[in-house]
Amino acid sequence: MSAKLVQGYEVVIGFETHAQLSTQSKIFSRAPTAFGAEPNTQACAVDLALPGTLPVMNMGAVERAIELGLALGSHIAERSVFARKNYFYPDLPKGYQISQFEIPVVQGGEVSFMLGDEKKTVRLVRAHLEEDAGKSLHEDFIGQSGIDLNRAGTPLLEIVTEPDMRSSDEAVAYAKKLHEIVTWIGICDGNMQEGSFRCDANVSVRKPGAALGTRREIKNLNSFKFMQQAIDYEVRWQIEEIEDGRAIQQATVLFNPDTGETRAMRTKEDAADYRYFPDPDLPPLVIGREWVERVRAQMVELPWVMAARFVRDYGLPEYDAATLTQSMAMAAYFEATAKACGQPKLSSNWIMGEVSAFLKRQQIEIGDKELPSANVLGRLILKIVDGTISNAIGKALFQELCDRSRSWAEDFATIDSDLEAIIEAKGLRQMNDSSALEAIIDEVLAANAKNVEEFKAGNAKAFNALVGQAMKASKGKANPAQVNAVLKSKLE
Amino acid sequence: MTELHHLGVAELAALLQSKQVSAVEVATRFLARLGGNPHNAFLDIDSEVTLAQARASDAKLAAGSAGPLEGVPVAHKDVFVTKDLVTTAGSRMLNGYRSPFDATVVARLRQAGMVTLGKLNCDEFAMGSANENSAFGPVTNPWNTAFVPGGSSGGSAAAVAARLTPAATGTDTGGSIRQPAAFCGITGIKPTYGRASRYGMVAYASSLDQAGPMARSAEDCALLLSAMCAPDLDRDSTSLDVAQEDFSAALGHSLQGLRVGVPAEFFGEGLAADVRRAIDAALARLQALGATLVPIGLPRTELSIPVYYIIAPAEASSNLSRFDGVKFGHRAADFADLTDMYKKTRAEGFGQEVKRRIMTGAYVLSHGYYDAYYLQAQKIRRMIADDFQSAFARCDVIAGPVAPTTAWKLGDKADDPVASYLADIFTLPASLAGLPCMSLPVGLGDGGLPVGLQLIGNYLQEAKLLNVAHQFQLATDHHKQQAGAAA
Amino acid sequence: MSLTSTDIARIANLARLELQPDEGARMREQINAFFDIVTQISQVDTSGVLPMAHPLDAMPAMPPIHLRLRPDVASEPNDREANQRSAPAVERGLFLVPKVIE
């Protein structure tokens, strides 16, 4: 693997990602999971660990774990066990977190992605189900913290990789790919600001070939930008320490976006001793083959599977297919457009070109009213194909449609007649009347004697210049093929 | 007519259904007996709450919509949380705690019509065998107030024996229903693990805790158990999905041909002579009723002591972590910082035995010791459960003593925890296996203190146990004998 | 085997229990007395025996007990007032604790 070195050191990164699962209710209680409610209004007796309360498992959380496992080619454990991780913290109401320890529900698997034009694969160790903790609010109370347990009991999947990444670029690319997958299959809303997708990076450095160095864990990286900054800073810091002859101490560190630095958290001296044991309140989680197959059957088509189909069924280049499957909305827009015009490659060109540019310019998403529907775009492309308008006019017409930002009837007949109307009104129709074209071309030849000379002297470029002049003179309405033909005949 | 407080559950239910007495009359009569809190059996009484429930019951009786136990009083061990009464679990940690909900067992008995008299004293968080570990003082034994009532459901046993309530709920983790029932001369049953919902029971050891009724006869226990036991699938993941049973319906069977297994290990030299005499007589009586005695072996009986006292404290150390002074319960008044607040709060809130078990539990789970202690204990636990299965291949029920001795004097074992652990030897095996088991009075020992016979059945065989006990009680009157102090 | 006073201190800290010196000493004696009867379990040959985490998985009569799963429905109403009724310190709906330092 191409491990690019930093000051002669190899960087080794592993990830632990906490993805909040998009369930309605908590993992072990019936309280709602919605974000941003009044403090402790979504923490029921079970979430508060009131005496006598017991956990009851949410099927929706298990289903989402199965979906992730299927998406990443992991083994779904037929039998997995919930364990108690014991430690005291005010945002941990029971004094233990229900998690999975020895036997997680999702085992193995991998995430593949492109880093530049190099394909990278990161192996997963596991993904296990667990409950989220509450939040400690340090502001507004002098010398005290306020505890909000609304988040306590929100279902999490902790997704753990092997230390397979060798640079901050690769780490960020992995995180983006994982983010793309969990949001694509819809098990997590992926909102990093709200903490729905939190990454911890285990970072160490070593001389090539040496044993793994001591790692430090950067906690709660909640944006891709900070992720890169934090890892780069941490790598530099560790190398300096080693170069200055100091050994790295295993530690948990936090990234401070303001200073751009990482700082070791106050270490809990007994953090190492969580006294895990199987939770006696919860019998083993058993997942039958048939359930896994049921989930598989209901699952959405995965991005890479869809891309392969685009190549196979629509004959698109791999690049187009990969680009169009970066979001489900874009992929759907492409398929609808291709269906409306029967021209997959042209549809792809238009979406990656004009459409993307428009979206970027307006900073809007596919599905926004300002963007002509896929059917409209499809019929517009058809107008180009059947020679009603030139490609250049097509682009102008597309812009025209965007500016109108009107809602279109979706049946082809209406769309077609509407397009016709605009083409007429704006006089955009392509000129196919050859006598008119010949007149224009005679003028062009007369006005560009120099080009004619050069062409006759064997300069092909000069011919293209004449075509351009002719098109210009026809205000783009001439049919380029026809122009070619007529010019040729007149010049021979 | 006999004084109301001398009547059992079945008798009271009959009088109430036939409107010969009203629920308010019954409640008033029993409330009157609670004045001065005899034997320190009760921790919370609220006559307003009780009488309101009684009035509601009378309305139902009048409307003909009464439950089977409508208007019959019951008192709850203080580890069951209740909306209308304080729940302390016998701990300073929960002094004055009011739960926002009722335990499932409490709700089910209320649905059956029972009227709550109050909350009953117990060992702190149900940890103890003498009820001397309650933060609110020990309970005394109605047969002789110088002696302990047993534990941890000591308040429940004493209250029933002293005729302060016709019935009570208890919980049994390692013998906490059977042993106090034996010490106080009453009848109590712990059903199969998972039969009664644990929702609303302040957890001690989750894989062992089970609720059960304590009353004066097997017949009365059957009535309560039928109401208590039903699936609670929405609230308790360990609740068994087995249909509710009418245990009273199964009390009419003869013991002809019944095979009673007698484990040699329950009759070793540790067994006191007077207890042995009473147990032998009871076994002879079962024979006289048509049963045959089958010698069996439970070879790991002695191992059940270390196994239980590793597993239960391990689970307890984790279950009691929620008592941290943040969301509910006691918080220390002075502390330097968060950690100090935790440590002082828990040091002040927990009693010695609870602290000992938390320490033991945290230790056996801690890094480097888990395999040697907790995991090894879990493996032996399975061997103990398997021993029972081979035994049940040769017998229908198992019979033996509940405890090696009758009740001991208050304070005798207070400073020697290990001594009281050893006294649990005969109740621990069935608890570890999760089997149904019960205790019924079979006479008095030398000190005039009651002796209890333990019956152990296979999983879900509560009806069989209750029938054996009922047939025994039809033929004997040990269960009718009254505690000297209860006149 | 027997616990040292260092063990006792370590465990007490793990369990967040403040022990007075004499209390710690007494507890050490009592816990060690208990571990005297525990030693016998190490003599038991448990090779090939599955640990029993639960009585539910020892019931031959029944099908093996699996974790019961409930449908993903949010049905708990906001009951904050009742739930915080016994809280030592609450302000604006938040539980107050001594400052948490990370």
Contacts of A220 in chain C (CB under 8 A): none
Evaluate whether C70 touches B333 at the Cβ level (below 8 Å): no
Evaluate whether B144 touches B448 at the Cβ level (below 8 Å): yes
Nearest CA in chain C to B419: C34
Q: What does the pLDDT read at residue A69?
A: 98
Hey, is the C-beta of A280 within 8 angstroms of any chain B C-beta? yes
The tens digit of pLDDT for each residue in A169-223 reads 999 999 999 999 999 999 999 999 999 999 999 999 999 999 999 999 999 898 9
* Residue bearing tokens 């009664």: B196
Nearest CA in chain A to B328: A50
* Sequence-distant (≥ 6) Cβ neighbours of residue B65 within 8 angstroms: none
Contacts of C42 in chain B (CB under 8 A): 372, 376
* Residue bearing tokens 């005949």: A489
| % of chain B exceeding 70 in pLDDT | 99
Hey, is the C-beta of C80 within 8 angstroms of any chain A C-beta? yes
Contacts of A88 in chain B (CB under 8 A): 321, 324, 339, 342
Mutate to test the interface with B, among A40, A46, A50 (most CBs of B within 10 A): A50
Q: Across the strands, what pairs with B118?
A: B75
Residues C51, B378: C-beta atoms closer than 8 Å: yes
Q: How many CB atoms lie within 10 A of CB A349?
A: 15
| B471, pLDDT greater than 90 | yes
Nearest CA in chain A to C82: A45
| B434, pLDDT greater than 80 | yes
Q: Across the strands, what pairs with A107?
A: A75, A126
Rounded Cα distance between A253 and B240, Å, is: 46
| Mean pLDDT calculated for residue range C23-41 | 94
Nearest to A208 by CA among A394, A416, A4, A463: A4
Q: What is the value of pTM for the model shown?
A: 0.91
* Sequence-distant (≥ 6) Cβ neighbours of residue C72 within 8 angstroms: A23, A24, A25, A58, A59, A60, A61
Hey, is the C-beta of A143 within 8 angstroms of any chain B C-beta? no
Q: What does the pLDDT read at residue A405?
A: 58
* Sequence-distant (≥ 6) Cβ neighbours of residue A286 within 8 angstroms: A78, A79, C64, C66, C67
Q: How far is CA C69 from CA A44, A111, B400, in A?
A: 19, 29, 40
* Sequence-distant (≥ 6) Cβ neighbours of residue A189 within 8 angstroms: A20, A22, A183, A196
* Sequence-distant (≥ 6) Cβ neighbours of residue B137 within 8 angstroms: B40, B121
SS (H, E, C) B332-378: CCCCCCHHHHHHHHHHHHCCHHHHHHHHHHHHHHCCCCCHHHHHHHH
Q: Nearest Cβ partner of A280 from B97, B235, B315? A: B315
Mutate to test the interface with A, among B237, B345, B374 (most CBs of A within 10 A): B237
Q: Nearest Cβ partner of C74 from A30, A141, A280? A: A30
- Smallest Cα distance from C87 to chain A, Å: 11
* Sequence-distant (≥ 6) Cβ neighbours of residue A409 within 8 angstroms: A415, A418
The tens digit of pLDDT for each residue in A45-70 reads 999 999 999 999 999 999 999 999 99
3-state secondary structure (DSSP) of residue B422: helix
The tens digit of pLDDT for each residue in B151-171 reads 999 999 999 999 999 999 999
Q: What does the pLDDT read at residue B486?
A: 46
* pLDDT tier for residue A392 given thresholds of 50, 70 and 90: confident
Contacts 24+ apart (CB under 8 A), B367-371: B367/A272, B367/A273, B367/A275, B370/A275, B370/A276, B370/A277
Q: What does the pLDDT read at residue A389?
A: 83
Mean pLDDT computed over every residue of chain B: 97
Structure tokens at C48: 């090939």
Q: How far is CA A131 from CA A26, A54, A55, A98, A151, in A?
A: 8, 14, 11, 6, 9
| Mean pLDDT calculated for residue range A112-130 | 94
* Low-confidence winner among A452-456, B194-198, B286-290 (lowest mean pLDDT): A452-456
Structure tokens at B16: 């109430």
In B229-303, where does DSSP find H-type helix?
Answer: 273-288
Strands of B61-193, DSSP E: 73-77, 115-120, 167-172, 187-190
The tens digit of pLDDT for each residue in B117-147 reads 999 999 999 999 999 999 999 999 999 999 9
Residues A59, C72: C-beta atoms closer than 8 Å: yes
* pLDDT tier for residue B485 given thresholds of 50, 70 and 90: very low
- Tell me A388's DSSP state: S
Nearest to A401 by CA among A429, A421, A387, A430: A421
The more confident residue out of A368 and A237 is A237
Rounded Cα distance between A440 and A436, Å, is: 6
Residues A44, C72: C-beta atoms closer than 8 Å: no
Nearest to A53 by CA among B319, B106, B357: B319
Nearest to A62 by CA among A284, A274, A278: A284
Contacts of A276 in chain B (CB under 8 A): 365, 370
Hey, is the C-beta of C84 within 8 angstroms of any chain A C-beta? yes
Q: Across the strands, what pairs with C99?
A: none
Contacts of C67 in chain A (CB under 8 A): 57, 82, 282-286
Catalytic residue positions of B? 77, 152, 176
The tens digit of pLDDT for each residue in B390-402 reads 999 999 999 999 9
Evaluate whether A345 touches A366 at the Cβ level (below 8 Å): no
CA dihedral C57, C58, C64, C68 (to 10 degrees): -40
- Smallest Cα distance from B366 to chain A, Å: 5
Q: What does the pLDDT read at residue B487?
A: 44
* Residue bearing tokens 């047969």: B143
| A418, pLDDT greater than 80 | yes
- Tell me A285's DSSP state: E
Residues C34, B417: C-beta atoms closer than 8 Å: yes
Nearest CA in chain A to B204: A52
- Listed ranges A384-393, A451-460, B166-175; the one with the highest mean pLDDT: B166-175
The C-alpha R_g of chain A, in whole angstroms, comes to 30
| B290, pLDDT greater than 80 | yes
- Smallest Cα distance from B458 to chain A, Å: 21
Q: How far is CA B265 from CA A381, B182, B269, B299, C68, in A?
A: 91, 19, 9, 7, 38
Q: What does the pLDDT read at residue A1?
A: 42
Q: How many CB atoms lie within 10 A of CB C30?
A: 19
Nearest CA in chain A to C51: A278
Rounded Cα distance between B188 and B126, Å, is: 16
| % of chain A exceeding 70 in pLDDT | 97
| Mean pLDDT calculated for residue range B339-362 | 97
| Mean pLDDT calculated for residue range A440-459 | 85
| A3, pLDDT greater than 80 | no
Evaluate whether C76 touches B405 at the Cβ level (below 8 Å): no
| Mean pLDDT calculated for residue range B275-302 | 98
Mean pLDDT computed over every residue of chain A: 91
A230: amino acid identity, one letter: A
3-state secondary structure (DSSP) of residue B51: helix
Structure tokens at B115: 């009227």
* Sequence-distant (≥ 6) Cβ neighbours of residue B29 within 8 angstroms: B3, B4, B5
* Residue bearing tokens 């209901």: A298
- In DSSP notation, B216-250 reads SSHHHHHHHHHHH----TTT-TTS-------GGGG
Residues B459, C85: C-beta atoms closer than 8 Å: no
The more confident residue out of A389 and C6 is C6
